[in-house]
Amino acid sequence: MTKKMPSRFGMSSGERPSVVGIAEGARPLDRTSPFPLWAQMEADLRRRLSLGEFCRRFPTDLELAVLYGVSRQTARRAVCHLNSQGLVTRQRGGATVVNPGCGGEAS
Protein backbone atom coordinates (compact mmCIF):
# COMPACT_ATOMS: atom_id res chain seq x y z
CA MET A 1 0.00 0.00 0.00
CA THR A 2 1.39 3.39 -1.01
CA LYS A 3 1.32 6.13 1.59
CA LYS A 4 0.45 9.59 0.28
CA MET A 5 2.86 12.28 1.34
CA PRO A 6 1.39 15.57 2.56
CA SER A 7 2.18 18.59 0.44
CA ARG A 8 3.44 21.87 1.78
CA PHE A 9 -0.22 22.92 2.16
CA GLY A 10 -0.92 20.06 4.58
CA MET A 11 -2.93 18.01 2.06
CA SER A 12 -2.13 14.71 0.42
CA SER A 13 -1.20 14.85 -3.23
CA GLY A 14 -4.33 14.84 -5.34
CA GLU A 15 -6.43 16.58 -2.70
CA ARG A 16 -7.84 20.02 -3.34
CA PRO A 17 -8.75 22.60 -0.72
CA SER A 18 -12.44 22.93 -0.01
CA VAL A 19 -14.09 25.91 -1.66
CA VAL A 20 -17.61 25.05 -0.52
CA GLY A 21 -19.49 28.21 0.35
CA ILE A 22 -17.17 30.60 -1.50
CA ALA A 23 -17.72 29.27 -5.01
CA GLU A 24 -21.35 30.26 -5.37
CA GLY A 25 -20.79 33.88 -6.34
CA ALA A 26 -17.63 33.49 -8.40
CA ARG A 27 -17.79 34.41 -12.08
CA PRO A 28 -15.62 32.54 -14.60
CA LEU A 29 -12.59 34.38 -15.97
CA ASP A 30 -12.30 35.07 -19.70
CA ARG A 31 -8.94 33.75 -20.89
CA THR A 32 -9.46 35.38 -24.32
CA SER A 33 -9.89 38.85 -22.81
CA PRO A 34 -7.14 41.45 -23.24
CA PHE A 35 -7.39 42.09 -19.48
CA PRO A 36 -5.01 40.02 -17.32
CA LEU A 37 -6.54 37.21 -15.26
CA TRP A 38 -5.50 38.87 -11.99
CA ALA A 39 -7.37 42.08 -12.99
CA GLN A 40 -10.51 40.11 -13.88
CA MET A 41 -10.24 38.24 -10.61
CA GLU A 42 -9.70 41.46 -8.65
CA ALA A 43 -12.81 43.00 -10.24
CA ASP A 44 -14.90 39.95 -9.36
CA LEU A 45 -13.59 39.87 -5.79
CA ARG A 46 -14.33 43.60 -5.46
CA ARG A 47 -17.89 42.93 -6.67
CA ARG A 48 -18.28 40.08 -4.20
CA LEU A 49 -16.88 42.21 -1.36
CA SER A 50 -19.42 44.96 -2.14
CA LEU A 51 -22.19 42.34 -1.88
CA GLY A 52 -20.89 41.28 1.54
CA GLU A 53 -20.08 37.70 0.50
CA PHE A 54 -16.97 37.46 2.66
CA CYS A 55 -18.34 38.62 6.01
CA ARG A 56 -17.29 35.41 7.83
CA ARG A 57 -13.86 34.88 6.32
CA PHE A 58 -11.90 35.74 3.19
CA PRO A 59 -10.58 32.75 1.20
CA THR A 60 -6.88 31.91 1.16
CA ASP A 61 -4.77 32.42 -1.96
CA LEU A 62 -4.83 28.67 -2.58
CA GLU A 63 -8.62 28.47 -2.26
CA LEU A 64 -9.00 31.39 -4.67
CA ALA A 65 -6.56 29.78 -7.13
CA VAL A 66 -8.59 26.57 -7.16
CA LEU A 67 -11.90 28.42 -7.35
CA TYR A 68 -10.91 30.61 -10.30
CA GLY A 69 -8.68 28.04 -12.02
CA VAL A 70 -5.54 30.19 -11.89
CA SER A 71 -2.10 29.90 -10.31
CA ARG A 72 -1.58 30.81 -6.68
CA GLN A 73 0.61 33.72 -7.80
CA THR A 74 -2.24 35.13 -9.94
CA ALA A 75 -4.61 34.88 -6.97
CA ARG A 76 -2.01 36.49 -4.70
CA ARG A 77 -1.56 39.41 -7.10
CA ALA A 78 -5.33 40.07 -7.21
CA VAL A 79 -5.54 40.06 -3.41
CA CYS A 80 -2.44 42.29 -3.11
CA HIS A 81 -4.20 44.87 -5.30
CA LEU A 82 -7.28 44.70 -3.05
CA ASN A 83 -4.94 45.21 -0.09
CA SER A 84 -3.31 48.28 -1.69
CA GLN A 85 -6.80 49.75 -2.24
CA GLY A 86 -7.65 49.26 1.45
CA LEU A 87 -10.43 46.74 0.88
CA VAL A 88 -8.68 43.91 2.71
CA THR A 89 -5.73 43.58 5.06
CA ARG A 90 -3.17 40.85 4.49
CA GLN A 91 -1.45 39.54 7.59
CA ARG A 92 1.87 37.79 7.14
CA GLY A 93 1.48 34.15 8.02
CA GLY A 94 -2.17 34.70 8.82
CA ALA A 95 -5.53 35.35 7.33
CA THR A 96 -6.64 38.06 4.93
CA VAL A 97 -9.26 40.18 6.68
CA VAL A 98 -12.01 42.24 5.05
CA ASN A 99 -11.74 45.83 6.30
CA PRO A 100 -14.81 47.33 8.01
CA GLY A 101 -17.07 49.32 5.70
CA CYS A 102 -15.78 47.62 2.54
CA GLY A 103 -18.56 45.13 2.13
CA GLY A 104 -22.31 44.95 2.41
CA GLU A 105 -22.15 44.13 6.10
CA ALA A 106 -24.02 46.30 8.58
CA SER A 107 -22.06 48.54 10.96
Domains and their CATH numbers in the chain: 37-98 (1.10.10.10)
61-68 helix and 37-50 helix, angle to the nearest 10 degrees: 110
* Mean pLDDT, rounded, for 8-30: 63
Least confident interval from 23-27, 53-57, 81-85:
23-27
Quote the CA–CA distance of 2 and 89 in Å, as a whole number: 41
pLDDT grade for 56, boundaries at 50, 70 and 90: confident
pTM of the prediction? 0.75
